[in-house]
Structure 1
Amino acid sequence: MKVNITTLLLVFSFLVLNGCSKATTPQQADIAVFEQFLSENPISSVSPTVDIASIYQQDDPLFESVLYIQRNLWAEAKKQLEPMAKNQNPDAKFWLASITWGTGIKNNPIAKKLYMESAEQGNPYAALFFSPKNDICQMYYSSECSEKWVEKAQKLFAEQAKTGNVRAVYYSTILKPDLTHEEYIDAVIQSAEKHYYYPLVEYANKIINEDKPNKNMEAMAVNLLNYAQFNNFIPAIDALMGYEGEKKRTQGEQYKSLTEQGINIGSNHAWRVYLLNSINDKSLSSQQKYFIAKASELFNGYDYGISFSIPPKGKAALIAANKKAQEKADSVKRVIYIDGAHVPEG
């Protein structure tokens, strides 16, 4: 029997950037706008390349540490971030704070200090962390949550937007107090055209996560997720896997295809499906199950499968199996899709 996973999606700490306001609520009239967008940007199969607006490229000092965070290897990330934070790197302070809060009573004040310093030094996401609408801020640092930080974040994003930063352009727009629905939809589309797909996925998720979504709106939302998925955007893959799971279609070809795509480009959710399904798969040998479990542990630290697998007997066989598992983990695309507004909680 295969494990039916419908809700094992990676949990994110979403900063409050486009909450449930009138301006950001999906509307029927959006269908025509997005149909035009999709017709002008046709794509019907998965792109052979991963072309997304990543915050860091491989030559950036923060690339490795943020990739570790994305893959839930926080201990490794912390080792790299701490010296950069001590050297007053505001982005390093933000990321270090993001993996520090909630890890212990003694660590919460440390995270708060890092967030504050990062915000003061110009990181807009750190400033936005102290939004009164941010549940995490209210839970841990309620006395510090204030609209003044939202205003500061908007100003910081506006400055960064002048350089063409696609995220800054989007967030400086939707944080405007007088934001209209038309401006919001235009910002979502402009971001997607510049390969920043989070706004598009978030918009679509608002629709498909409703209890009883309008069928036409639901169909449009799925088309938008498919567009981002065809462009190898992992949150879109995860959303579609969740959608297929809710429809009880985890044995279908679409779900299997999404899982395979996710494994290749680094979806933690797809890797967990891959691992958990292997545990009870009678068609797999013990050697194959160990290989999958070990590869999973090496990829993102998820060692759940190790206790259900039997390592090969003999030192040489074990070394060979571990080497093969390492090659599998190393074959995953090294692209960062998370950003300051979307930090995994582990």
Structure 2
Amino acid sequence: MKVTISTLLLVFSFLALNGCSKVTEPQQADIAVFEQFLSENPISSINPSIDIASIYQPGDPLFESVLYIQRNLWAEAKKQLEPMAKNQNPDAKFWLASITWGTGIKNNPIAKKLYMESAEQGNPYAALFFSPKNDICQMYYSSECSEEWVDKAQKLFVEKAKTGDVRAVYYSTVLKPDLTHEQYINAIISAAENHHYYPLVKYSITLRESEKSNQEMKELASDLLNYARFYNFVPAIDALMNHEGKHKRMKGHFYKELMQQGVAMGSNDAWGGYSILSRHNDHLTETQKYIVAKANYLFNGDGFGISFVTPPKEKDALIAANKKAQEKANSVKRVIYIDGAHVPEG
């Protein structure tokens, strides 16, 4: 199984429109458009309900498998996906391929075959994987990367868009060869209004990091990221946490608020930070530190912190601590925020 790297949205966005073109590059005129969007959709505090356009809901055949992938528990995901892939489920093939490439020389051809079959069977994300703009395709399957696959993906998205799939509506638009900047911005806003926040977060990060962005544009980026995080969208929480971390503000109230929200919503980054800060918190007992480290391991398989804490020596105390750790891990919201265009990269 691949060892995943805890990173931000940019690591996830390996399929769609890598790099900035003149069409997707932020412009000063965008400020007025997004300010109008924010004024028409006011939200200034965390939504008590979770309103995210997830690809799968509890009870869907692929829900548990994709939730495992999101939480970096890829061995468990593989066990569930393999039989579904053998039964010719194109979505299962896509997700299985996504956690197979890069795991060994022998596995790369297997992943390629799964991606190809998934694309041929109608999964647009599998077709988009073979875009020339996808660095992963260029690295592992360069001879297969072509614009023909992008055209196929766009046509598949057009068909899916007819069913009301908000992601398909977005990608069927932004993959058009004659896309304009206005269409691109409107597609981002339309997606956000339908609770698909990845495009908004990706745009915000680009806006914040662009050398051409002025202070006003950077402030807009923060406003947009806060908008998405108020709707409990984990990649927005992670982006804001990363920004605070870069400016050495990890001890501030805002960072702690983001971490608390991220832990509750299932952010791997937040859980990692929570585990580290807990170990160095002199106000916690060794048992309390153990419970946090154990909960982190139960949640997403990250057992690194356990080696730095001391478990209770008495059997009953250890059982009680493990129970509390399990309860803490179980309290995390079971919401999928990744999708076919934003898969954790190993």
Task: Indicate the TM-score class for this superposition, using the shorter chain for normalisation.
Answer: over 0.9
User: 8 Å contact 2:204–2:225 — kept in the other structure?
Assistant: yes
**1:16 deviation in Å?**
3.0
Equivalent residue number for residue 104 of structure 1: 104
Rounded Cα–Cα distance in structure 1 between residues aligned with 2:24 and 2:213? 16
User: 8 Å contact 2:46–2:229 — kept in the other structure?
Assistant: yes
User: 8 Å contact 1:208–1:243 — kept in the other structure?
Assistant: no
Please give the secondary structure, in 1, of the residue aligned with 2:27.
coil
Identify unmatched segments of 5+ residues in structure 1.
1-6
Letter in 1 for 2:300: N
User: 8 Å contact 2:56–2:63 — kept in the other structure?
Assistant: yes
Rounded Cα–Cα distance in structure 1 between residues aligned with 2:239 and 2:105? 33
Q: What do residues 324-346 of structure 1 show as CA deviations (whole Å, max 9, x unaligned)?
A: 10000000000000000000124
User: 8 Å contact 1:127–1:152 — kept in the other structure?
Assistant: yes
User: 8 Å contact 1:161–1:172 — kept in the other structure?
Assistant: yes
Rounded Cα–Cα distance in structure 1 between residues aligned with 2:250 and 2:14? 27
User: 8 Å contact 2:18–2:133 — kept in the other structure?
Assistant: no
User: 8 Å contact 1:262–1:270 — kept in the other structure?
Assistant: yes
Q: Note if 1:324 corresponds to 2:343.
A: no
Identify unmatched segments of 5+ residues in structure 2.
1-5
Q: What do residues 11-69 of structure 1 show as CA deviations (whole Å, max 9, x unaligned)?
A: 42521336411111100000000000000000000000111000000010000000000
User: 8 Å contact 1:263–1:332 — kept in the other structure?
Assistant: yes
User: 8 Å contact 1:65–1:80 — kept in the other structure?
Assistant: yes
Q: What do residues 297-320 of structure 1 show as CA deviations (whole Å, max 9, x unaligned)?
A: 000001011100111112211111
Q: Note if 1:149 corresponds to 2:152.
A: no
Give the number of equivalent residue pairs. 340
Q: What do residues 163-200 of structure 1 show as CA deviations (whole Å, max 9, x unaligned)?
A: 11100000000000000000000000000000000010
Rounded Cα–Cα distance in structure 2 between residues aligned with 1:102 and 1:313? 41
**1:8 deviation in Å?**
5.2
User: 8 Å contact 1:47–1:230 — kept in the other structure?
Assistant: yes
Rounded Cα–Cα distance in structure 1 between residues aligned with 2:13 and 2:205? 15
Rounded Cα–Cα distance in structure 2 between residues aligned with 1:190 and 1:212? 25
Q: Note if 1:183 corresponds to 2:170.
A: no
Letter in 2 for 1:239: A
Deviates more, 1:313-322 or 1:327-336: 313-322
Please give the secondary structure, in 1, of the residue aligned with 2:343.
strand
Equivalent residue number for residue 132 of structure 1: 132
Question: What is the RMSD computed on CA atoms of the aligned residues?
Answer: 1.3
User: 8 Å contact 1:271–1:296 — kept in the other structure?
Assistant: yes
Residues 1-346 of structure 1: pairs in structure 2 closer than 5 A: 9=8, 11-12=11-12, 14-17=14-17, 19-211=19-211, 213-346=213-346
**1:87 deviation in Å?**
0.2
Rounded Cα–Cα distance in structure 2 between residues aligned with 1:211 and 1:104? 38
Please give the secondary structure, in 2, of the residue aligned with 1:105.
coil
The normalised TM-score by structure 1 is 0.96
Please give the secondary structure, in 1, of the residue aligned with 2:152.
helix
Rounded Cα–Cα distance in structure 2 between residues aligned with 1:345 and 1:184? 26
User: 8 Å contact 1:18–1:174 — kept in the other structure?
Assistant: no
User: 8 Å contact 1:18–1:24 — kept in the other structure?
Assistant: no
Equivalent residue number for residue 4 of structure 1: none
Rounded Cα–Cα distance in structure 2 between residues aligned with 1:42 and 1:72? 34
Q: What do residues 59-117 of structure 1 show as CA deviations (whole Å, max 9, x unaligned)?
A: 10000000000000000000000000000000000000000000011110100000000
Letter in 1 for 2:57: Q
User: 8 Å contact 1:130–1:146 — kept in the other structure?
Assistant: yes
**1:240 deviation in Å?**
0.5
Rounded Cα–Cα distance in structure 1 between residues aligned with 2:7 and 2:155? 36
User: 8 Å contact 1:294–1:303 — kept in the other structure?
Assistant: yes
Please give the secondary structure, in 2, of the residue aligned with 1:14.
coil
